[in-house]
Structure 1
Amino acid sequence: MEPHSDKSLLRELPKVDQILLHRDMTRLLQTTPRSVVVESIRNSTALIRKAILEGQIFEPGTVHDRVLQKAVALIKEKTRPNLRRVINASGVVLHTNLGRALMSESARDTVTAVSSSFCNLEINLESGKRGSRYEPVEELLTRLTGAEAALVVNNNAAAVLLALGTMAKGKEVIVSRGQLVEIGGSFRIPEVMEQSGATLVEVGATNKTHPGDYQNGVSENTALLLHVHTSNYRIVGFTRETTVEELVQIGQATNIPVMSDLGSGFLVDLAKYGLPKEPSVQETVAAGADIVTFSGDKLLGGPQAGIIVGKRHWVEKMKKNPLTRAVRINKFTVAALEATLREYLDEENVLTNIPTLRMLTESQEKIRVRAKELEFKVRSLVQAKVSLEVIKGYSQVGGGSMPTAEMPTYLLALLPELMTVDELAVKLRLAEPAVVARVRDGKYQIDLRTVQPEEIDMLAEILAYVINYGEVIRS
């Protein structure tokens, strides 16, 4: 029978009740709100009706099935979570757009435990009286960093804002011109300082700032000497920056406190593994900084958080600042951060237990083995013509950390025959789970540094399906 576009096909459009009786719909109704199912059927019917009126070709007797298929697709689209799982094959370890640090297994387990039951977030179980939500992490932070006290807020921008507002509101803060960084999302240190109520005093030049520049900038209205670690960019060549140690000497001579914003603070010396030397939190505290701020979801490898450590006098003042309540952490952050910090007590296993540290320090040979494993599995599954090759490349730290770091890695480079590389990239981003990798040198490149070992089989199946059929895998 020849397909045709006769408008008489409109009589074949099924009623909602007819579609609801189909076994596919009765199955979906077990897990999907009835209102969503009914709305999807009506939308599907309207779309097929429009297609018929526009003269699209249908075989008689197929309209019912077309409405059903479209309705099922609409239901799946409407019920799919907006925040979905992604396989990070980009080689960027701390990919801001993909949620930055992966949490350790212990952190995930702890969050699950406190999310499925009540917990002692703000109650002292021994006394039965109200406690502090910061207690579970404060002792760990002071033990690991050597600081007198600690406080945690929801991100590092909030930590900087709270510290400046507590230590220098209505007063002047001296900072090097070369450290007036933009910390992401167009938020800049001068703007954060303005919101805190402090007044910025720039000293030095973009490429050079000497201790004398700070000394000359001190006035009777100076409340703070601020050091901002330029973790997301580097100035090279004819440069000079005043160190935290030098600032502390000036602060002690003038009775002015010193604050250091590390941005991507870390507790393990990653220089031993070929990464650039960066100031650790412990070193900055030991140098005498009164307050040190850093992120929890970057090189620390935990949940998003702004961590403040330093002298008890200043930390206690921050705890009493009304802004602290507005930027406080919830029980999930407390649980995940505590579990992450406990991993650092085990020096032998911390590099393997925290995914961020494992990915940053993993040997090239282990990455090469995973790349070859993926290549083998894709070859065994793929039927369409595609070029597959394991090549060398470089990974990035990401997250505004170590911008000059180059980590040698291995990539699986693909070049399909039935579609362009850009089309392949789009289809893989729309898969379930989504896959995000690189398109470079005319090939689709998968960096195995950031692909988790347990994702290899799943990734191979997704790649093979999209290459074979040119379609997106949907759950």
Structure 2
Amino acid sequence: MEEEKQRRLRALPAVHEVLAQLETEAEFSPFLANKRDLPRLTHCVRQVLQKARENVYRNISSSFADYESALWPWLKKELLQVLMFPETSLRRVINATGVVLHTNCGRALLAPEAARHVAAQAERYSNLELNIETGERGSRYVHVEQLLCQLTGAEAAMVVNNNAAAVLLMMNTFALGKEVIVSRGELVEVGGSFRIPEVLKAGGAQLVEVGSTNKTWYKDYEAAINSETALLLKVHTSNYRIEGFTHAVSGAELVELGKKYGIPVLEDLGSGSFFDGASLGFPPEPTIQQSVKSGLDLVSFSGDKLLGGPQAGIIVGRRNYLERLRANQLTRALRIDKLTLAALEGTLRMYQNGDGESIPVWRMLSYSLDHLKSAAEKLKAALESNTAIAVELKEDASQVGGGAWPTVNLPTWVCAVRPKQGSVLELEKFLRRGSVAILSRIQKDWILFDGRTLLAGDIEDIAQRLQDWK
């Protein structure tokens, strides 16, 4: 087998040999006419030759003579495909992992209504910073501020480019060179190894840790207050849980303490939600409305997690504090663009209209087991004629993802696939490296496709891709 692989690898032409041969092929003349296209053509040749090498390592099913005679026609076909339909770096992925808020795949999907609003604003000029009534310059925040205030009960609101930016801006505005008191049990690390202590430091604040990892009390905060204390900060640990012998001080208790000493109280809610999830059987999570109602001066949360919108850092709270945030010079550097605003406005209007449960994140989280089993059965039926794989239905569990409800496993049904030749790892790589990357998960020598995160057309595309596995 190894000797056969080496024969086939030696049969592959060099890049300069392919380029020379292309000069004799009429269909490639448009790509050879302009010398400036040569670097791109050379890059494409290298891509196709690399794919040919991977095919050799993965599969040897025909005789060497058949392989050699089919090699050049295959190279031509693949090269024309790459040249005529070049792949963009950012492209479609089929998420069959069952992780609803998949950070590596862009987290929350926009609802079609929100996506259409983005497209409409992208193709035309808009009143992004134009007051149409006066004809003078306006504020980009007005497009979502009223919506956010209506939905949360806050006095005022603004938006920056993500929640870490929101925390950074709040620290720089209210605690530059001053102390911020935080519980040790709330010093969260988020994706990409970004940590609350480092974000506070970057904002110019000095972190004061109180309590212990599992227990922090009201008296711990009060004992740390001095003339240098600028803020009391509560960080909701949405991406992990400490259970057992624990105690935490509530936002309402911190508000009481803040009023006693005249110190603002802020909360980083992380993956904030307008729904409590109780109807889905999820553990209790503070909603955005509850945090605002508790009297916190400012609350920040993400737009692209449980809210189900675009990446954004949303800040709601008291008007006088929001006015100070807007006046900070960092606000210009951290502001969001018109497309993000359009996506956020479209999403928020769905909540305003009572249609929040049809936002993709919440739709996927609320699928019934019957729906999920039906999706798995459809994929299984589409794959049963494929003799290169074994297919079964299995019960399993999905995840919310995005750091939300980390301890919750969502019961689901999956279509499980196992290759009859080759390894599961090779098949997973084969699926991932198609023109449309198909992401799955591996469990006990099976590849699992979870219908919870499949969209229209995904089943057909998975079946078609697996037809090419020999």
> Kindly, what percent of the aligned residue pairs are identical?
45
Alpha-carbon deviation of 1:463? 2.5
Q: 1:422 to 1:252 in 2, by over 3 A?
A: same
Letter of the aligned partner of 1:446 in structure 2? F
Letter of the aligned partner of 2:80 in structure 1? V
1:448 paired residue number: 451
Q: 1:442 to 1:350 in 2, by over 3 A?
A: same
Taking the aligned partners of 1:233 and 1:102, their CA distance within structure 2 comes to: 23
The C-alpha deviation readout for 1:297-356, integer Å capped at 9, x for no partner, is 000000000000000011110001000000100011000000000010132x3212x111
Q: 1:355 to 1:259 in 2, by over 3 A?
A: same
Letter of the aligned partner of 1:130 in structure 2? R
2:365 to 360, 365, 368: 360
The C-alpha deviation readout for 1:168-195, integer Å capped at 9, x for no partner, is 1111111101001112211111111111
Query: Which runs of 5 or more structure 2 residues have no equivalent in the other structure?
Result: 1-6, 51-63
1:139 to 135, 143, 146: 146
Alpha-carbon deviation of 1:13? 5.8
Alpha-carbon deviation of 1:379? 1.4
Letter of the aligned partner of 1:156 in structure 2? N
2:432 to 429, 433, 437: 429
Q: Is the 8 A contact 1:391 1:410 kept in 2?
A: yes
2:320 paired residue number: 313
Letter of the aligned partner of 2:380 in structure 1? E
Taking the aligned partners of 2:201 and 2:261, their CA distance within structure 1 comes to: 24
Alpha-carbon deviation of 1:432? 2.1
Letter of the aligned partner of 1:350 in structure 2? G
The C-alpha deviation readout for 1:422-468, integer Å capped at 9, x for no partner, is 111000000121111111111111111111244222222223333xx
Aligned CA RMSD, in angstroms, stands at 3.2
Alpha-carbon deviation of 1:383? 3.2
Taking the aligned partners of 2:298 and 2:109, their CA distance within structure 1 comes to: 27
Alignment of 1:20-35 (within 5 A): 22=25, 24-25=27-28, 34-35=37-38
TM-score by length of 1: 0.87
1:409 paired residue number: 412
Q: Is the 8 A contact 2:32 2:38 kept in 1?
A: no
Taking the aligned partners of 1:174 and 1:28, their CA distance within structure 2 comes to: 63
Q: 1:38 to 1:434 in 2, by over 3 A?
A: closer
1:93 paired residue number: 100
SS of 2:242 mapped into structure 1? coil
Q: 1:4 to 1:257 in 2, by over 3 A?
A: closer
SS of 2:192 mapped into structure 1? coil
Question: Alignment length, in residue pairs?
Answer: 448
TM-score by length of 2: 0.88
Q: 1:254 to 1:109 in 2, by over 3 A?
A: same
Q: Is the 8 A contact 2:31 2:37 kept in 1?
A: no
2:381 to 357, 376, 383: 376
1:400 paired residue number: 403
Q: Is the 8 A contact 2:41 2:83 kept in 1?
A: no
Letter of the aligned partner of 1:135 in structure 2? V
Alignment of 1:73-472 (within 5 A): 75=83, 79-347=86-354, 349-352=355-358, 354-380=359-385, 382-384=386-388, 386-466=389-469, 469=470
SS of 1:166 mapped into structure 2? helix
Q: 1:308 to 1:63 in 2, by over 3 A?
A: closer
Query: Which runs of 5 or more structure 1 residues have no equivalent in the other structure?
Result: 48-55, 470-475
The C-alpha deviation readout for 1:46-91, integer Å capped at 9, x for no partner, is 99xxxxxxxx9999999975874574366479x3112221100111
Letter of the aligned partner of 1:383 in structure 2? T
2:80 paired residue number: 72
Taking the aligned partners of 1:40 and 1:180, their CA distance within structure 2 comes to: 46
Letter of the aligned partner of 1:376 in structure 2? A
Alpha-carbon deviation of 1:248? 0.6
Alpha-carbon deviation of 1:255? 1.0
SS of 1:449 mapped into structure 2? helix
Q: Is the 8 A contact 2:161 2:311 kept in 1?
A: yes
Q: 1:26 to 1:212 in 2, by over 3 A?
A: same
Taking the aligned partners of 1:97 and 1:315, their CA distance within structure 2 comes to: 32
Taking the aligned partners of 2:278 and 2:454, their CA distance within structure 1 comes to: 23
Q: Is the 8 A contact 1:14 1:64 kept in 2?
A: no
Taking the aligned partners of 1:350 and 1:402, their CA distance within structure 2 comes to: 19
Letter of the aligned partner of 1:137 in structure 2? V
